[in-house]
Structure 1
Amino acid sequence: MAASKAGSAAANKPGTMASGKVGSLQSSMVVPKPSGLRADMVANKAGAAGATAPPRKSETEEEKAAAAAVFRAIETAAALLAADKASEAEAALRSVIDSAEATIGALHAASLCALAHLACALSAGGRGDEAEAVARRALAGRQTTLGASHVDTLASAAGLAALLHKRGKLPEAESYCRAALDGRRAVLGPAAPDTLQSLAALLSLQYSRGDYYGMEASA
């Protein structure tokens, strides 16, 4: 009887979960690891080049060439990151970012896309402070030019959340992760791959924080 009462008390104690419930939850799902920036940034080039961005003035040939050079550098950087060559990926991006910002502007879709990938390269190279600053710039730029619910903005929010998770800034990471998840559910639907990726990232964050009740509610 005493053991039964103790078990009941443990199950109902705020902030804890009975061991049976924890075991059931953990056995019913594979607890995801932090997704990292790369997974959230992969689709940014396609999104930035899409037709859903606000209309822009007609671009000159010089501006078109600058944007094309940025996207070529992004393709190169993505391949280098896949090969774990972070420093070379960073160099490829930096070689075009300054000139692109001078030619097409810092808020051009190509410039912001390059910044998002640069944050990924810096993070992969172990330079978390710089990566976080660049990721915040990319997110702020996309919020300004595209709005909070655009798929590229949501990708930047998810990427920043992953970076903050990696750096141990869990409460802020969860805030950005929830924003990305809610936005993707609304824009892409609950079963879209990006939405499910954000859900996995949220579960990973909650697991890192020991928030098993939150994991159960999110799942």
Structure 2
Amino acid sequence: MEQIGGGDARWSLKGMSALVTGGTRGIGHAIVEEFARFGAVVYTCSRNQKELDECLEEWKCKGFQVAGSVCDLSVRTQRDKLIETVTTYFDGKINILVNNAGTTQLKEATEFTAEDYSPIMGTNFETSYHLCQLAHPFLKASGCGSIVFISSVGGLIAVPVASLFAASKGTMNRVTKNLACEWAKDNIRVNAVNALP
């Protein structure tokens, strides 16, 4: 099968569309590159315009089909706008949604405040769940949708001074199973990758 820039010739993502949140750094950046290398057309987002522009230029030079826009995923209206933009870009269908954007804060459980709670639970869980809701009709329209949550082993085992992070990822792992069951009828696969913290 045809692909761009090497990799395993036994499979391809040619003709597939993918939205990867938080694609300008770390795991998200690697996912964007791998998808594009296997022929997918990728859309990503970042809160940082300069960082996004630099990554888009880098990917263009590599011959990858990657577009993106600035989006603060913690803001509900910006998530609405992101999905509107992405579905227009992909002509009303999304094959793959990767919920990668996340945040953490390390503190003793007794030290977490109400102000700490919202950013962690909001970014790691609420944002991902809402994007799944928004993307559902477009994943269904593709006929072969796939959602991937980038979770953490912290959602499976105890991690010191990371109780809120662990709670957000544990919740993500649980909802992965629920959505996989609920949306199987729509030909949408839902999985979580439990990365090391």
TM-score (norm 2): 0.29
- Which has a greater percent of strand? 2
- Which has a greater percent of helix? 1
TM-score (norm 1): 0.27
Specify which structure has the bigger relative contact order, considering alpha-carbon pairs within 8 angstroms and separated by 6 or more residues. 1
Q: Which protein shows a greater Rg?
A: 1
